[in-house]
């Protein structure tokens, strides 16, 4: 392990030292790409059970790796591996953004899902409450089964794409506190991927032990919105834990 690490450092240093038109540079570049292929495979496998073929994920990740090799600047960053991980995950994420809908969900459901979301929003405004499934169906001249299918499809899409981190994440003290209270030390990275608003909700509820009603008042939300939001954050983190196992 030590020697692999040293070999990597030597290659990176050599790559940075060689001029762009030096023929030796392309050999070093190739070697860097080859020794980091296992990292691409490892990261791709973490997202392999989301309806995308593993080979496609590896291919997307490999593009990220090549970009990482070409863009890495040792003067700016110590660790090539951290830099490469961010770039590889970025490409895998981009691949999901561009293709996950079309592969996992038929086009007619994608379109219907968008329509359902629009109508749901406008009905919420006019009714001042969440609409029923029948009300959405009526507004769209569709069946309630169609609306349920569209809601399920939207859920599948959210699960497949949105929880892939943009970059390697640093686990903050606040994240560690939440993980400790939930008795889940391994939640650290999942917590680090949350928005500040979501993190604040979890801190108020589990670290400061405020009731849902107190949080609702503090953040000017409905209590039902507080419980919904916290439940969804936790559920999403559970999915991430499963993926990482």
Our CB check for another protein shows the closer of 91 and 146 to be 146
Binders of another protein in range 174-213 (CB under 8 A): 182-184, 205, 212
Among 152, 166, 208, 217, binds another protein (CB under 8 A): 152
Q: End-to-end CA distance of the chain, in Å?
A: 23
Is residue 122 close enough to count as binding another protein by CB under 8 A? no
Our CB check for another protein shows the closer of 35 and 231 to be 231
Is residue 64 close enough to count as binding another protein by CB under 8 A? no
Our CB check for another protein shows the closer of 40 and 226 to be 226
Taking the alpha carbons of 138, 142, 148, 153 in that order, is the dihedral positive or negative? negative
- # residues near another protein by CB under 8 A: 32
Our CB check for another protein shows the closer of 8 and 200 to be 200
The DSSP line for 82-109 is: HHHHHHHHHHHHHHHHHHHHHHHS-HHH
Binders of another protein in range 123-142 (CB under 8 A): 127, 129-134, 136
Place of tokens 């007619």: 108
- Residue 194, Cα to own-chain centre: how many angstroms? 10
d(CA 240, CA 234): 10
- C-alpha closest to that of 226 among 241, 207, 196, 204: 204
Total length of the chain: 245
Our CB check for another protein shows the closer of 36 and 199 to be 199
Radius of gyration of the chain (CA): 23
Among 36, 95, 120, 199, binds another protein (CB under 8 A): 120
Which residues make up the interface to another protein (CB under 8 A)?
120, 127, 129-134, 136, 144-145, 147-148, 151-152, 155, 182-184, 205, 212, 224, 227-228, 230-232, 234-235, 237-238, 241
């Amino acid at each position: 392990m030590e020697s692999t690490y040293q070999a990597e450092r030597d290659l990176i240093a050599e790559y940075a030292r060689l001029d762009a038109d030096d023929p030796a540079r392309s050999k070093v570049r190739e070697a860097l790409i080859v020794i980091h292929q296992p990292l691409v495979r490892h990261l791709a496998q973490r997202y392999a059970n989301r309806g995308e073929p593993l080979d496609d994920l590896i291919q997307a990740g490999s593009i990220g790796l090549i970009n990482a090799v070409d863009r890495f600047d040792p003067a700016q960053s110590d660790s090539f591996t951290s830099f490469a991980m961010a770039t590889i995950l970025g490409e895998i994420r981009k691949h999901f953004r561009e293709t996950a809908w079309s592969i996992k969900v038929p086009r007619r459901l994608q379109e219907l899902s968008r329509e359902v979301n629009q109508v749901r929003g406008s009905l919420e405004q006019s009714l001042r409450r969440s609409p029923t499934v029948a009300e959405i169906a009526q507004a769209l001249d569709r069946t309630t089964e169609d609306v349920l299918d569209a809601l399920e499809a939207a859920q599948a899409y959210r699960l497949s794409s949105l929880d892939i981190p943009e970059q390697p994440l640093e686990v903050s003290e606040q994240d560690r506190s939440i993980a400790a209270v939930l008795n889940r030390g391994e939640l650290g990275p999942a917590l680090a991927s949350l928005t500040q608003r979501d993190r604040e909700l979890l801190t108020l509820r589990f670290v400061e032990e405020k009731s849902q009603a107190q949080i609702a008042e503090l953040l000017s939300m409905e209590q039902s919105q507080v419980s919904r939001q916290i439940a969804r954050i936790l559920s999403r983190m559970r999915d991430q834990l499963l993926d990482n196992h």
